Structure 1
Amino acid sequence: MKKLTRRATLGALALAAGVALAGVQSANAQDFPTNTITLVVPFAAGGSTDLVARVIAQKMSDDLGQQIVVENVGGAGGNLGADRVARADPDGYTILMGTVATHALNPLMLKTKPYDPITDFSPVSLLVVVPNVLVVNPQLPVNSVAELIDLLKKSPDQYSYASSGNGTPLHLSGELFKSLAGVEMQHVPYKGAGPALNDVVANQVPIMFDNLPSSSSHIKAGTLKALGVTTKERAPSFPDVPAIGETVSGYETYTWNALFAPKGTPPEVVARLNAAAKKAMADPAVVSRMADFSATIVGSTPEELGEHVKAEMAKWEPIVKDAGVSLD
């Protein structure tokens, strides 16, 4: 009888401890945040994802009452940064600025997958959809997509193009262009769009598929020449730049930016981050900044982002197979 009583007592104590712990966790979630939040950008500084992250981090910090620090973890086409967040404590203090690369393309291309884009993350909000753009150094003797195709066909294997890394949307943009236009270019991957862009401006690499936000200032300044945007329609901020699809039938790519937390992050924390993100995206200064480079604001719910990731993987899978891109 004593042993049974002791077991019952221990069980009751364990139950009480569990209830108390749950109460503490719930209280902590309701008080969130009480410390600095790290927003991991899985690419080098200076690219489109970095630009969007820094704009959003500032506005979200104002609403949350705690600073959001942007940390660039470049490499492996975004996989290093994404994997870091997937393995982080699920408390909302380490979050990811994910993209179509980290949550659709890389998982489809990689033979060895460091994380699952659906099961290893808690979706927070789809922020923006961003056009890509084909840019060249002004010294390259072409002024249109058609002229570039002619040049590449006359001099196969002589030219190269830069991207933000293997498996990124910019890499796939180039490979899809090669496939549909019937041309050859050597791919030069970087750890992010920023370093790649610097080398294209310096004419170390003459061609690049970039996110429109990070190239827009160079296009306006004349240090880069825009030949075409990668979306089906022309970008409102650059109406004179044609869509590549106007010359290369069926061509379309784009990227997007979204916030993700590690799997198991409390729903209350996800909801708080989502509310702050949506408030930031509605801010007039943010709306104006996004419009400068034709980024379409979304500001979704966590559930909508989860469905978006599934839809993106279904959409890009046949494109990745047709482009023949596979990464170790």
Structure 2
Amino acid sequence: MTDLNRALRPLYKNRRLFTLAALGLVSSLATAAYPDKPIKIVVPWAPGGATDQIARLLAPPLSQAMGVPVIVENKAGAGGVVGTQLFVKERADGYTLLLATSSTNAAAPHLVAKLGFDPINDFTPVLQLCSIPNVMVVPVKSPWKTLKDIVDAAKKSPTAYTYGSAGIGGSQHLAGAQFKTAAKIDIRHVPYKGSGPAAQDLLAGHIDMMIDTGSLGSIRGGLLRPIAVASSKRLGVLPAVPTFEEAGTPMLASAWYGITLPRETPSDVVQRLNTELNKILRSAEVRQKLIDMGAEVGGGSASEFAGFMAAEIKRYEGVVKDSGAPRE
């Protein structure tokens, strides 16, 4: 080694140290800067349903908390599967969130043969937002006033009546299948690209009934008649409406909603979103609006939601089997 090389060795070492320090500083600044551009919430259903309503309720306060615009993007198709397939291909940088549901992330793995995503490993759970029990609704002009009316009519004319859903594996689909089994009737399933379009056809009289999670607005507006709620007790927002059990056909059905990120999203991004979303759920305005939807408000840590999602995937295997819904 020459004298010149010996003299330059400390400079090379210091240059390497400086480079590493600079890279670390850049990384820290990038993390500290999050977010510095708009955030997108992917709703894998058409506009108008409960999932869409929840996303649009969260977007303004989340935008205020994060200091950047928050945009809701609907990507409907195949009972929420299409939008979820597209979501898992997004960058894990915290700028694309998924409004995950029990339909897409718990039921679909047992109903859809070619799912296109891993329900555990392709997601980074952030927070469970809420759960909403399903409510049997019919158009206000329907002759049916009680659950017994529906059961009697369906037994008299098998396959003559239809129920709509947000798509294969949607909570309305599973609730309808449960109802068929519990009541021992044969009604036909009509899947849509989201509960919004299904509700529109219900209002227009193109289908006969839905067991939905997002119909309270139409009920309050006098457009739909609630027949029964698929919960263990009556809803505070619908105190005069009996449970399915009270109406003579025992069954329970509900849907849950949460926020996830793509797999391998940095933990500090997950924690930031979890903290802000928990604050939003605790706010009086958002909490009341969710309650007005018939929801039980959630919250908690990301790890709690991860455990819940894993348990729900296992539980829904039995739910799907008991419902009699076919794998498609």
TM-score (norm 1): 0.92
Q: Give SS of 1:76's match.
A: coil
Q: In structure 1, give the amino acid aligned to 2:209.
A: I
Aligned positions of 1:77-156 closer than 5 A = 77-156=79-158
Residue deviations 1:142-173 (CA, integer Å, cap 9, x gap):
11111111111011111111111111111100
Which one has the largest radius of gyration? 2
State the partner residue of 2:319: 319
Contact 2:111 2:168 in 1 (8 A): no
Aligned positions of 1:165-314 closer than 5 A = 165-211=167-213, 214-314=214-314
Distance 1:19 1:176, change over 3 A: farther
Contact 1:30 1:269 in 2 (8 A): no
Q: In structure 2, give the amino acid aligned to 1:192.
A: G
Distance 1:15 1:93, change over 3 A: farther
Contact 1:232 1:252 in 2 (8 A): yes
Distance 1:25 1:71, change over 3 A: same
Contact 2:180 2:186 in 1 (8 A): yes
Contact 2:181 2:324 in 1 (8 A): no
Q: Give SS of 1:257's match.
A: strand
State the partner residue of 1:57: 59
In 1: Cα distance, 2:17 partner to 2:157 partner: 74
Measure how far apart 1:15 and its partner are.
9.6
Measure how far apart 1:261 and its partner are.
0.3
Contact 1:122 1:265 in 2 (8 A): yes
Q: In structure 1, give the amino acid aligned to 2:298.
A: V
Distance 1:148 1:54, change over 3 A: same
Distance 1:49 1:18, change over 3 A: farther
Q: In structure 1, give the amino acid aligned to 2:237.
A: S
- Structure 1: segments with no counterpart, 5+ residues: 2-9
In 2: Cα distance, 1:233 partner to 1:63 partner: 36
Q: Give SS of 2:60's match.
A: helix
In 2: Cα distance, 1:59 partner to 1:28 partner: 24
In 1: Cα distance, 2:176 partner to 2:25 partner: 52
Q: Give SS of 2:199's match.
A: helix
Distance 1:14 1:128, change over 3 A: farther
In 2: Cα distance, 1:248 partner to 1:132 partner: 16
Moved more, 279-288 or 91-100: 279-288
TM-score (norm 2): 0.92
Distance 1:102 1:22, change over 3 A: farther
Question: Percent identical across equivalent pairs?
Answer: 36
Measure how far apart 1:247 and its partner are.
3.2
In 1: Cα distance, 2:16 partner to 2:145 partner: 73
In 2: Cα distance, 1:263 partner to 1:19 partner: 28
Q: In structure 1, give the amino acid aligned to 2:219.
A: I
Residue-pair matches, total: 321
Contact 1:30 1:268 in 2 (8 A): no
List 4+ stretches of structure 1 deviating above 2 A: 12-27, 245-250, 322-328
Give the alignment's Cα RMSD to 1 decimal. Answer: 2.3
Contact 1:77 1:166 in 2 (8 A): yes
Contact 2:216 2:293 in 1 (8 A): yes
Measure how far apart 1:323 and its partner are.
2.3
In 2: Cα distance, 1:190 partner to 1:18 partner: 54
Measure how far apart 1:99 and its partner are.
0.4
Q: In structure 1, give the amino acid aligned to 2:305.
A: L
Residue deviations 1:50-85 (CA, integer Å, cap 9, x gap):
111111111111110011100001111111111222
Measure how far apart 1:273 and its partner are.
0.9
Residue deviations 1:294-319 (CA, integer Å, cap 9, x gap):
21111121001101101211222112
- Structure 2: segments with no counterpart, 5+ residues: 2-11
Moved more, 257-266 or 139-148: 139-148
In 1: Cα distance, 2:302 partner to 2:310 partner: 13
